[in-house]
Amino acid sequence: MGMTSHSVRRRRAATATATAVAALLSVAAAPALAAPPLAGPASPAPTAPAPTAAGPASPAPARSAPAASGRDASGGDTSAAGSGLAASSGAAPGAPLVPPGISRLAQGSGRGVAITIDDGPDPVWTPQVLQVLRENHVKATFCLVGTRAQAYPELVRRIAADGHQLCDHSVDHDVTMDHKPVAYQSQQILDGKAMIEKAVPGVAVTYYRAPGGAFTPASRAIAAAHGMRPLGWSVDPKDWSRPGLDAILSAVETELPERPTVLFHDGGGDRSQTVAALKRYLPWLTAQGYAFTFPARTTP
């Protein structure tokens, strides 16, 4: 399918990716810089030149990209780790369009909650989840697997038409992606995005969630350079393992963190427990005074 434009896009993406990764590594190598170094001309350059949005000028360091440098520490990287990078349209290729830090907070400053739904679309379960969301006036974020979006484009269109946000969940959900070369990670991320976009032309894919949460600094930089905020979660009821309705509900109703981002699944197997849990959970959240919103995309 469209191999020429595809490979051109991929070559461009690879350039952007290299720049983004180089910029990210430079940032990581200069922890003394408290101010967001990519903010623009005002940022001082104490010793080493700070990377600027004019990425191509800064040569990539001799070291190679972190191919198998392991996934990000899952704990410490909150949305605040976005280095304060503001969204900036018209930036040079490779500059992050959104912060590369992992977002785990719902948007807003009040009692917001973000519901995220992973691993679909699925012809059996996605329509049921959409129905529960609709009945409860909830907008959620769907993390779609590229091959499934390709197989069920009409479901992607229904998700978008209902006002939910779209999240790229890679081409085929390889949870060992973080141990593979950056070029492979880039292909999984960018082709996954393209497969979703093909189903709903003109609709933005606004987040990227690594399969199994296996982010790497490179994958976060790649996603951010293409306008997709890396998306984590703060509440995981493990509904994918079918622990039973009571276990799911107790996991999501007790000790909710501030502005929680909750992880559910509409793909990957029998999701009847998830559907049942959502039917009880969404009204409960409303009764608790929560407002449904999307995960933060910019630094709060």
Q: Given CA atoms 154, 155, 156, 161 in this order, what sign does their dihedral have?
A: positive
Q: Which is nearer to Zn ion, 77 or 118 (CB)?
A: 118
Q: Which is nearer to Zn ion, 83 or 116 (CB)?
A: 116
Q: Rule CB under 5 A: which residues touch Zn ion?
A: 118-119
Whether residue 277 contacts residue 239, with contact meaning beta carbons closer than 8 Å, is answered with yes
Residues 6+ positions from 266 with CB-CB distance below 8 Å: 117, 118, 119, 120, 121, 122, 125, 126, 128, 129, 142, 274
Please report how close the Cβ of residue 208 comes to Zn ion at its closest, in angstroms.
Answer: 12
Please report how close the Cβ of residue 96 comes to Zn ion at its closest, in angstroms.
Answer: 23
Please report how close the Cβ of residue 19 comes to Zn ion at its closest, in angstroms.
Answer: 28
Q: Which is nearer to Zn ion, 119 or 191 (CB)?
A: 119
Q: Which two tokens stand for residue 78?
A: 């909150």
Q: Which is nearer to Zn ion, 118 or 197 (CB)?
A: 118
Q: Residue 208 in 3-state DSSP?
A: strand
Number of neighbouring beta carbons within 10 Å of residue 140: 25
Q: Is 72 annotated as catalytic?
A: no
Q: Which contacts of 107-110 are long-range, i.e. CB under 8 A and separated by 24 or more positions?
A: 107/259, 107/293, 107/294, 107/295, 107/296, 107/297, 107/300, 108/259, 108/291, 108/293, 109/300, 110/291
Q: Which is nearer to Zn ion, 208 or 290 (CB)?
A: 208
Q: Which two tokens stand for residue 53?
A: 């949005």
- Gap between the terminal Cα atoms of the chain: 39
Which helix (H) or strand (E) segment holds residue 263: the answer is strand 261-265
Please report how close the Cβ of residue 212 comes to Zn ion at its closest, in angstroms.
Answer: 6
Q: Is 265 annotated as catalytic?
A: yes
Comparing every residue's Cβ against Zn ion, the nearest one is 118
Please report how close the Cβ of residue 230 comes to Zn ion at its closest, in angstroms.
Answer: 14
Whether residue 78 contacts residue 104, with contact meaning beta carbons closer than 8 Å, is answered with yes
Write down the catalytic residue from 72, 239, 265, 266.
265
Write down the catalytic residue from 72, 118, 122, 168.
118
Catalytic machinery residues: 118, 265
